[in-house]
Amino acid sequence: MAIRPTPGRSLVTRRAVTDIVRTAAVGSYGVTGFAGGPVRQLVGWLGISQPGVTVRTDDGLEVELDLTVALGVPVAEVARQVDSAVRYAIRRALGQEVTRLLVHIDGLRVHPGGTVPVAGAAAPTAIRSRDLADSGTDVA
């Protein structure tokens, strides 16, 4: 005997969406935390808002993230991972698509006990960005 779905409506708070986004972003490769100035961190500590996460529902679901990432990881790959994880989490939890997702990388964080890489002189055989540009390869 099949059960017929009952039409209805659900209400999801912005805080719940923010928690879903926050969990998906922090679980992504290379993300060490959320950025925000001292005022936003104080407001987050008081529980008024979540620093580093902005959710708007005016014209669809728009999400903006301000992240810090681990030093030494490819920033573009971290941004792609976060994008994919957040879109998947929202789609799975709410059955809705994210219309716009902005990921800002606001800082790099060195892991405790880690060392900051020192820029040395380039090896004479190293490929420089100018070499790639001269070869016709797209360089961003």
| Confidence band, pLDDT 50/70/90 cuts, at residue 137 | very low
Number of domains in the chain: 1
Pair 94, 19: CB distance under 8 Å: no
Q: What angle in degrees, to the nearest 10, is found between the helix axes of 14-26 and 75-94? A: 140
Count of Cβ atoms closer than 10 Å to residue 81 Cβ: 20
For every residue of 76-92, DSSP letters joined together read HHHHHHHHHHHHHHHHH
What average pLDDT does this structure show over 58-79? 91
Which residues form the domain of 62?
14-111
Mean pLDDT of the chain: 78
> Of all residues in the chain, what percent carry a pLDDT higher than 90?
36
Q: With 80 as the cut, is the pLDDT of residue 68 above it?
A: yes
Interval 105-117: pLDDT, tens: 888 887 665 655 5
33 is a domain residue: yes
**Is residue 61 one of the residues assigned to a domain?**
yes
Interatomic CA distance for residues 37 and 69, integer angstroms:
16
Residue 123: inside a domain? no
**At 63, which CATH number?**
3.30.70.1350
- Reported as a pLDDT band with limits 50, 70 and 90, residue 66 is very high
